[in-house]
Structure 1
Amino acid sequence: MRGRRLATIEHIIAIVSPGSEEVVERLDRWTTDNGLEFSTVDVGNDIETPWDEEMETLGITIGGDGTFLEGIKQFAPRGIPILGINTGTLAFLVRVDVEDLEEALTETIQGRAEVDRRQQLHVSGAELDATGINDVMIQHPMPEDPVERKITKLDAFADGEYVGEYDGTGLAVSTPTGSTGVSLSAGGPIHNPQNNSSLQIVPLQTHKMGVRPLIVSNDTKIDVVAQEAADLLVDGGRHHVHLDEGDSVRITGADTSANIVRTSYDDDFYTAISELLGWGARGSVGKELPERLQTTGTEEETELEHALRVATEAVKSVQEPLRELHGRVESVTFKTDKSDIVTEADYLSENIITTALENEFPAHGIRSEEDTYVEGGSAFTWLIDPLDGTGNYANGNPNYSVSVGLLRDGEPVLGVVYAPETDELWTAIKGEQAMRNGQPIGVTDRSELAKSMLMSGYDPDGAFLTHFYQDARGVRRLGSAALHLCYLASGSADAVWEYDTYPWDVAAGMVIAEAAGATITDTRGDRFELPGEEERSPMVGTNGHIHDEVIRKLNDNSRLSE
């Protein structure tokens, strides 16, 4: 989940520890003031779903790390992002102080917070099927008589290969988040858990000096076989089972991550370990990165650079929900004809993007394919196609995109196009370098139509295919005008023809293609003008070298140049 998606939150549910009545009252007032639904669950009780599950929901825990772990257990399987409010005495996972409650929440629903993906682990076997975020502890059962044996032997395997015998109190398998708990005390390394995917096997009070912690990838299948009786605890006992001699369990990275909301009111990771765990590497005073090493991200953004960053964050925020619905959308309706499908995914994507842009740029106008119209008071207007290639999308085809363009006084000056299935991002500001996933791109230098690859938009009677197929290397149609223009910009095609376009179809792609060196005109070769909202206009884009030849050939067929 991306932070900008948080701007669409409609409901907040809080898991509350005892003695938090005053904090709950503050939260109730804040949600009422912000028009959000609000409900609470006492810690230790299971969350039911009295709200509409289609609503965007934020989970909050009020308490310390123990309450937060309960929140992860309840929220993570539902894909609900979690924000922890610290009312405890010592908390490492929960880093928002209760005094900053309202400010941190306001930042969150404005889409300005970050979402930190945390690796979880999954344990199966021995009548246990559980997920946790910290660690799995396997150790000898506590004897009734303190002088009785406290040692157990465990065999460990990684992807079927024998790791070795752990002879001691037991072992811990931890995530990066859990690396600051038991595994740290046992000599394991500390991992920065932010978007970090790994597992570590840590011996507990081993009887061999050479046995050290072992780090493996998060998809490694760790099998542990008990040679003697042992107890297994997940996240401090939130799941537990007794192992008899010969029992085995499998531990690996969980398929689902925990989505933890981080705001500017949180301490950073290194401050947290310094203050809470006595991290000795930095002492009591922090230092600034030397100026020569600071990136350009620390410099003041221009107006368009700021707009590009926010638009990029917004389109990436829709990847997860669009991929979840891809190919299994049920509520499909037709807007004008059978080629113009709209689905619930269009509206979901549009809501996330427009909400993020409205929050960040309240004076900007917004126009969207799905009939959204926001009158702005500035020279800037956003043109949004929240799902270009809806027919492909509804049928499970990966060729769809999200397109966001920005106009200044009616002229396209910024473009962002994102392909969620391939995670490809094209961006450009007018007059600057076009980029694909942060790398510069440019059009081809082919100068012969016979050696060129063409892309076609909607071709109602097959005239373009018929007229050009024999004279070019090939003609392809993806079903997304924005992708066609981006492939032209990236050098994956030499020319693009679109039979008819709405402004939101091509505004972003035009900026990207022209910034990459493309020539964009109408079918007569004149400067292409964005059509009005209710109008459609044909478009031709080429690498520039074959443009005149393509235009001449189009005008040989009146059906293609109208």
Structure 2
Amino acid sequence: MHGRRLATLDEIVGLAAPESAKIIDMVESWAKSNDIGLTVLDVGEDITDEHIEREKTTLGISIGGDGTFLEAARSFAPFQIPLMGINSGTLAFLARVEPLDVEDALTAVYRGRASINARQQYEVTAGDINTTGINEMFLQKHPPEDRYGTKVGSLHVFVDKEYVGKYFGSGLIVSTPTGSTGRAYSNGGPVHYPQNNRTLQIIPHETISAAVDPIVVSQDSEIDIVLDSDFDIDIDGGRQFERLESDTVVHISGANQPVQTVRTPYDDAFITAMVDKLDWGLRTVDNDGPRSALEDNITSSDFKERAARVAREAARSAGEPLQELHGQVENIQYKTDKSDIVTEADYQANDIIETAINSEFPDHIVQSEENDQTVPTEGYAWIIDPLDGTGNFAHGNPNYSISIALLKDRIPVVGVVYAPEPADMFYAIDGRGAYQNDHKIEPTSRSQLDESMLLSGYDPSGEFLQAFYHETQGVRRLGSAALNLAYVASGSADAVWEHDTHPWDVAAGLCLLREVGGKTTDQYGSSYELSFNATDQRTPLLASNGSVHEQLISHIDTSDLMSE
């Protein structure tokens, strides 16, 4: 899940430690004032489908210390619910929102200003144990029956079936990046920056050898540990604790489902938390370093880069509910029910995008098909279509898209077209080129009609199809004007004809085409301009790679299209 999607937050489900009543009251007050549902359970209670409505956008919260957060992480992970930790404990690395910041942090989440990061979990099986953890698995030699017995033992470790060797000592730790600041750190293990870090590390505990170092492995690696004597296994600081007999094989690997953690502007950053809680020695809490050096070269183009980043984040976030609701559309037989889902999809996507833009650029107008805002003739404004290709969407066809454009003086300077089903992200920045999934794109160089593949939008009388079908390699209709323009810009087609256009359908695509050197006109060859006047006069568009444009105009001139 992307953090921007939490702008459509419907409900909060929490796990709370004892003596959390004051913080619960604060959360309840905030939820009530924002018309958000709230369910709070005592830590230790199971979270089930009765508590979470999967079709709703849900935020999980823990109220307590890191112990409560770890318990909540295991409860929410199967539902892939993002989790925010509110700290009422002491030494907390995971629950980072302080009680005084609770309402502000929740507001930041609701305004789409939170980020969601994946925290690696591990899976462990040993004897009757089959569970997951987010912190660390600790094997410690089981105490001897009498005080004179040996307190050390041997463990044989394999990684992906390769024999690492025999660890002789009092134990062994297998830690995630999240757990790297716990027992692993106390035993000389490296600190791992935990956000989106998909690794595991093996750390010896009081090993009788000076030449044994920690080993870092991939989340996909298979770790097998064969016990030569009895050891106690401790999962995440006592969440599960059992004695394992000699010859038991402990199997550990990265879990497929990470924990989705929510970070807000009110959290301490990871290194700051290290300094504050562990006296990390390279800086003080308030020392932000020579940050001004990073900002010396900020120009207006960096503003456009930022706008493009926000637009891409908003598009990806809006794509999530569209995909989920699209899956429901495919299973519905009745038109009225489909219409309701399409309306809900449009609404959710529009809400996410508008919230993201308003949060980052509060002074900018945002016009969409869903509102009646007017784009000013001067200055910056946004124009969006949260669901272009509604007909396709309603019939289970994946050819639909999200279109977001930033305009300056009514000219597109940033354009984003996102197709959620193939996860294709097209974007362009004025003067910086155009890209598809971060790879620079360019149109075809074909200049002859009989070599060209054309796309068509709405063609009510079929005149465009009749005029060009036999003169070209074919005419295809995809059902999304934004995608049509993106495909011409990226070289998947040579030209597109749109019988009529609205600015929210084509603004982003026009930016893409301009950046790759394409050409856009009306059917007469006159320059195409976005029309913001609410009139009945249609605004046709002919867009091409540029090379074949004159032949297109010449052929249109001899066709019935000129009489439409």
Taking structure 1 as the reference length, what is the TM-score of the superposition?
0.86
Alignment of 1:311 with 2:311, yes or no, is yes
Q: How does 1:440-519 map to 2 (within 5 A)?
A: 440-457=440-457, 468=468, 471-472=471-472, 478-499=478-499, 501-519=501-519
- Which stretch of the first structure deviates more once superposed, 185-194 or 167-176? 167-176
Q: Cα deviations across residues 337-359 of structure 1 (Å, max 9, x unaligned)?
A: 99x99476444433322333455
Cα deviation, residue 416, structure 1: 1.3
Q: Secondary structure at the match of 1:485?
A: helix
Alpha-carbon distance, 1:191 to partner: 0.5
Equivalent runs, 1:157-168 vs 2, <5 Å:
157-168=158-169
Whether the 8 Å CA contact 1:333–1:343 is kept in 2: the answer is no
1:373 corresponds to: 371
Instruction: Provide the residue aligned with 1:37 in structure 2.
Output: 37
CA–CA distance in structure 2, aligned partners of residues 301 and 461 of structure 1: 44
Q: Deviation digits for residues 210-252 of structure 1, max 9, x if unmatched?
A: 2221111111222333333333232113234443333334322
Q: 1:534 to 1:413 in 2, by over 3 A?
A: farther
Deviation, 1:382, is 4.3
- Is 1:123 matched with 2:134? no
**Higher alpha-carbon deviation: 83-92 or 277-286:** 277-286
Give 2:13's aligned residue. Answer: 13
Tell me: CA distance 1:141–1:362, structure 2 relative to 1, closer, same or farther (3 Å). same
Give the superposition deviation at 1:171.
Answer: 1.9
Q: Which moved more, 1:404-413 or 1:350-359?
A: 404-413
Structure 1 gap ranges (5+):
none
Task: Give the CA RMSD over aligned residues.
Answer: 3.6
Q: Secondary structure at the match of 1:317?
A: helix
- 8 Å CA contact retained: 1:174, 1:201: yes
Contact 2:444 2:545 (C-alpha < 8 Å) held by counterparts = yes
* Alpha-carbon distance between aligned partners in 1 of 2:198 and 2:525, rounded to the nearest angstrom: 52
For structure 1, which segment, 211-220 or 423-432, has the greater mean C-alpha deviation from structure 2 after superposition? 423-432
The verdict on how the C-alpha distance between 1:318 and 1:156 changes in structure 2, with shifts beyond 3 A counting, is farther
Q: Is the 8 A contact 2:108 2:264 kept in 1?
A: yes
The separation in 2 between residues aligned to 1:273 and 1:217, in whole angstroms, is 24
| Match of residue 544, structure 1, among 543, 546, 551 | 546
CA distance in 1, matches of 2:220, 2:322: 25
The offset of 1:554, in angstroms, is: 3.7
Q: Which amino acid aligns with 2:130?
A: D
> Cα deviations across residues 142-163 of structure 1 (Å, max 9, x unaligned)?
4454443333333332223333
Q: Say which is worse superposed, 316-325 or 13-22, in terms of deviation.
A: 316-325
Listed as ranges, the matches of 1:209-220 within 5 Å are: 209-220=210-221
Partner deviation per Cα, 1:282-312 (whole Å, 9 max, x = no partner):
367635236555575x667887666444322
The Cα shift of 1:509 comes to 1.0
Would the alpha carbon gap of residues 437 and 349 (structure 1) be closer, same or farther in structure 2, given more than 3 Å must change?
same
Aligned to 1:180: 181
Quick one: percent identity of the two aligned structures?
48
Which position in structure 1 is the counterpart of 2:140? 139
- Shift, 1:281, TM fit: 2.8
Q: Does 1:520 align with 2:516?
A: no
Residues matched between the structures, number? 557
Q: Deviations for 1:31-75, whole angstroms, at most 9, x for unmatched residues?
A: 222222222111222234346442222122221111111121122
For 1:230-241, list aligned pairs within 5 A.
230-241=231-242
Rate the CA distance shift 1:361–1:331 in 2: closer, same or farther, 3 A: farther
The reply to whether residue 258 of structure 1 matches residue 259 of structure 2 is yes
| Higher deviation after alignment, 303-312 or 271-280 | 303-312
Alpha carbons of structure 1 residues 158 and 56: separation in structure 2 relative to 1, 3 Å: same
Tell me the TM-score normalized by structure 2.
0.85
Report the AA paired with residue 200 of structure 1.
Q
Shift of 1:141: 2.7
Task: Give the distance between the partners of 2:74 and 2:15, measured in 1 at CA.
Answer: 11
Paired residues for 1:383-402 under 5 Å: 383-389=383-389, 399-402=399-402
Cα separation, 2, equivalents of 1:395 and 1:249: 50
Correspondence for 1:205: 206
Paired position in structure 2 for 1:65: 66
Cα 1:112–1:219 change in 2 (3 A) is same
Cα distance change of structure 1 residues 12 and 487 upon mapping to structure 2, 3 Å threshold = same
When residues 498 and 242 of structure 1 are mapped into structure 2, their CA distance, relative to the original with a 3 A threshold, is farther
Tell me, yes or no, if the aligned pair for 2:226 and 2:249 is still in contact at 8 Å: yes
1:333 and 1:341 in contact (8 A); partners too: no
Q: Give the distance between the partners of 1:78 and 1:374, measured in 2 at CA.
A: 38
Distance 1:463 1:188 in 2: 71
Letter in 2 for 1:350: N
Is the counterpart of residue 88 in structure 1 residue 89 in structure 2?
Answer: yes
Q: Which moved more, 1:201-210 or 1:374-383?
A: 374-383
Cα displacement string for residues 411-453 of structure 1 (whole angstroms, at most 9, x for unaligned residues): 5554211233554433335566434445654434443344444
Amino acid at match of 1:151: V
Q: Distance in 2 between matches of 1:509 and 1:257?
A: 36
List per-residue Cα deviations over 1:124-147 (Å, max 9, x = no partner): 453333222111223333445444
Amino acid at match of 2:511: V
* Structure 1 residues 343 and 242: CA distance shift in structure 2, 3 A: farther
Distance 1:499 1:154 in 2: 73
SS of corresponding position for 2:180: helix
